[in-house]
Amino acid sequence: MKTVKLASILAFLVASFFPGMALAQSDPGVQGGPARAGSPLASVNSSDGTLQFFQNGLARFQDIESVKNSPTGNNGLGPRFNFVSCSGCHLQPAVGGTGPATNPQFQVIANGFVSGSTNTIPSFITANGPTREARFPFFFDQFGNPNPNAPNGGVEDLFTVSGRSDAGSCTLQQPSFAQAQATNNLIFRIPTPTFGTGLIENVDDSTLLNNQAANANNNLGISGTFNHNGNDGTISRFGWKAQNKSLELFAGEAYNVEMGITNEIFTQDRPLPGEDMHTGLPSSCLNLSGGGYPEDTTNFATKAGTDQFATNASIPSDTVMFAMFMRLLAPPTPSTITPGGATSIANGRRLFSAIGCATCHTPTLSSTQASNFTSSLGNAPVNAFSDLEIHHMGTVLADNVSQGGAGGDQFRTAPLWGLGQRIFLLHDGRTTNLLAAIEAHDANGSEANQAESNFDLQLTTSQQQDILNFLRSL
């Protein structure tokens, strides 16, 4: 009884003296309930085989890879890697998504994927923090000083196969993460969610160019550009800096860089940046699977399946099937009522556009080209909330990594569909708070300063809350 009275008095005092606290806008947080993503596109079905391909790709996306002698034949891991499966890091809120709440990279020694006698868990990999890849913006000189005249920016894999029972005598050291951290020469990237990416892949360049022109002359200080594929010059669109052209390239690169598995697109085992300029990988760390290169290939002899489509789906390489799985994943389904209710969400959507956020985070690109894969990918709107351009984001977000045409402060407008169920935000997962993510757009050199200041200085607390509700409804 006394406790109840005390609580009432406290509540009264808080309400009387700190009324703002109760009214302040806040991030509604990650939306619970069923995953709003992870299903195949509506047109994916079993009668034309697309469903079997989706399911086969989904299964392979979850396979755990070994260095050699895997009973399931998933060989080729390493010699350096960030994790042992795609889905380990692409899991939130469903397979294909982004990093989960419990970080699987923190468990790699406990789970036997990495030898604890030869590897340590880097300090920036924590039990409940974001899954990450690490990069050093600059090479070190021989004294351990980062050299600003020698840009690096390549992925520094977190773990080595050294000490694993299936890795033979391969002995490799982890990169100097502690030195990189001590000298500010360390940046991170978190996994991009892949839902709806088949639609992004199927947007014609002319649609993007028209959208760019339509958004020019905006009185908001915004003027982006595109990253281009170095081979054919068309607009590239995947990855945090829009550095990758297609889903297959994206899959092939990730298989090679994140898991160390060579494939039909990236055919050699990958040394670390720096190693590749000199000795490369030691011979004791090459062809560890014993099966030759590339480790992931087209399966000339089908592995399994009794019906025609299941058999067909087993033939392509893992890389092709990863890409197909991602391509056939439906975009996230937004909620019209949570959080905050339908009125707040609808209002937030309009405010998001009015203050200038939608100038880069284009709500809908309309529309995709006709698709030769499946009908849902053709002539469809892309509600990604992205213009797929790269924009200068200023000093707070700059990572000093250049990729293709993107400089150290330029990033692709992050697609916001599915934001409601993402845990870690921004390219490096530095925050879980949507307000902090918005605030990070405001900085020296950022194109988003005007839009951010409209949010910060012009909107009422209630209007800000509507925008936050809207964003978490996606």
Among positions 320-379, residues that touch other proteins (CB under 8 A) are 347, 350-351, 353-355
Cβ-defined contacts of 238-241 (< 8 Å, 24+): 238/192, 238/197, 238/200, 238/201, 239/192, 239/403, 239/412, 240/189, 240/192, 240/411, 240/412, 240/414, 240/427, 241/390, 241/401, 241/403, 241/404, 241/406, 241/410, 241/411, 241/412
- Which C-beta is closer to other proteins: that of 213 or that of 301? 213
| 384, 334 contact by CB (below 8 A) | no
Cis ω on the peptide bond leading into residue 294 (within 30° of 0)? yes
Applying CB under 8 A, the span of 163-171, 249-257, 294-302, 458-466 interacting with other proteins comes to 458-466
Q: Please state the closest distance from residue 125 (CB atom) to other proteins, in A.
A: 17
Q: Please state the closest distance from residue 173 (CB atom) to other proteins, in A.
A: 6
Nearest to 256 by CA among 303, 164, 313, 322: 322
Q: Please state the closest distance from residue 305 (CB atom) to other proteins, in A.
A: 42
- Which C-beta is closer to other proteins: that of 175 or that of 316? 175
Q: Applying CB under 8 A, does 123 fall inside the site for other proteins?
A: no
Kindly determine how many residues on this chain lie close enough to bind other proteins according to the rule CB under 8 A. 90
* Cα four-point dihedral sign 111, 113, 117, 120: negative
Task: For strands 159-160 and 133-135, give the pairing.
Answer: unpaired
Applying CB under 8 A, the span of 89-97, 107-115, 300-308, 441-449 interacting with other proteins comes to 441-449
| 91, 103 contact by CB (below 8 A) | no
Q: Please state the closest distance from residue 196 (CB atom) to other proteins, in A.
A: 23
- Which C-beta is closer to other proteins: that of 446 or that of 473? 446
Out of 38, 168, 274, 378, point to the residue binding other proteins (CB under 8 A).
Answer: 274
Q: Please state the closest distance from residue 232 (CB atom) to other proteins, in A.
A: 9
Q: Please state the closest distance from residue 411 (CB atom) to other proteins, in A.
A: 11
| 416, 331 contact by CB (below 8 A) | no
Task: For strands 155-156 and 159-160, give the pairing.
Answer: unpaired
* Cα four-point dihedral sign 102, 108, 110, 112: positive
Q: Please state the closest distance from residue 116 (CB atom) to other proteins, in A.
A: 19
Q: Applying CB under 8 A, does 282 fall inside the site for other proteins?
A: no
* Cα four-point dihedral sign 126, 130, 135, 138: negative
Q: Applying CB under 8 A, does 285 fall inside the site for other proteins?
A: no
Give Cα separations from 137 to 90, 149, 156, 173 (angstroms).
24, 11, 10, 19
Q: Please state the closest distance from residue 459 (CB atom) to other proteins, in A.
A: 7
User: In the numeric block, which tokens belong to residue 430?
Assistant: 């530095």
Out of 98, 185, 192, 289, point to the residue binding other proteins (CB under 8 A).
Answer: 185
Q: Applying CB under 8 A, does 438 fall inside the site for other proteins?
A: no
User: In the numeric block, which tokens belong to residue 448?
Assistant: 């988003």
Q: Interface mask (CB under 8 A) for other proteins, residues 124-153, using x and -?
A: ------------xxxxxxxxxxxxxxxxxx
**Positions 198 through 237 that interact with other proteins (CB under 8 A):** 205, 209-210, 212-214, 216-217, 219-221, 223-226, 228-230, 233-235
Q: Residue for token digits 């993007």?
A: 208
Please state, in angstroms and rounded to a whole number, the distance separating the CA atoms of residues 384 and 264: 30
Question: DSSP letter string over 370-390?
Answer: P-SS-GGGSS--B--S----E
Please state, in angstroms and rounded to a whole number, the distance separating the CA atoms of residues 57 and 90: 14
Q: Applying CB under 8 A, does 396 fall inside the site for other proteins?
A: yes
**Positions 57 through 116 that interact with other proteins (CB under 8 A):** none
Q: Interface mask (CB under 8 A) for other proteins, residues 253-272, using x and -?
A: -------------------x
Q: Interface mask (CB under 8 A) for other proteins, residues 287-316, using x and -?
A: ------------------------------
Applying CB under 8 A, the span of 14-22, 46-54, 181-189, 337-345 interacting with other proteins comes to 181-189
**Positions 398 through 417 that interact with other proteins (CB under 8 A):** 398, 400-402, 405-410
Out of 251, 384, 447, 468, point to the residue binding other proteins (CB under 8 A).
Answer: 447
Q: Residue for token digits 């899954």?
A: 131
Q: Please state the closest distance from residue 212 (CB atom) to other proteins, in A.
A: 7
Q: Please state the closest distance from residue 400 (CB atom) to other proteins, in A.
A: 4
Please state, in angstroms and rounded to a whole number, the distance separating the CA atoms of residues 78 and 1: 62
Task: Point out which residues pair with 37 in neighbouring strands.
Answer: none
Q: Applying CB under 8 A, does 2 fall inside the site for other proteins?
A: no
Q: Applying CB under 8 A, does 175 fall inside the site for other proteins?
A: yes
User: In the numeric block, which tokens belong to residue 380?
Assistant: 């469809």
Out of 39, 174, 194, 338, point to the residue binding other proteins (CB under 8 A).
Answer: 174
Q: Please state the closest distance from residue 431 (CB atom) to other proteins, in A.
A: 16
- Which C-beta is closer to other proteins: that of 9 or that of 182? 182
Q: Please state the closest distance from residue 291 (CB atom) to other proteins, in A.
A: 28
- Which C-beta is closer to other proteins: that of 174 or that of 289? 174
Largest CA distance in the chain: 76
Quick count: other Cβ atoms within 10 Å of Cβ 190? 23
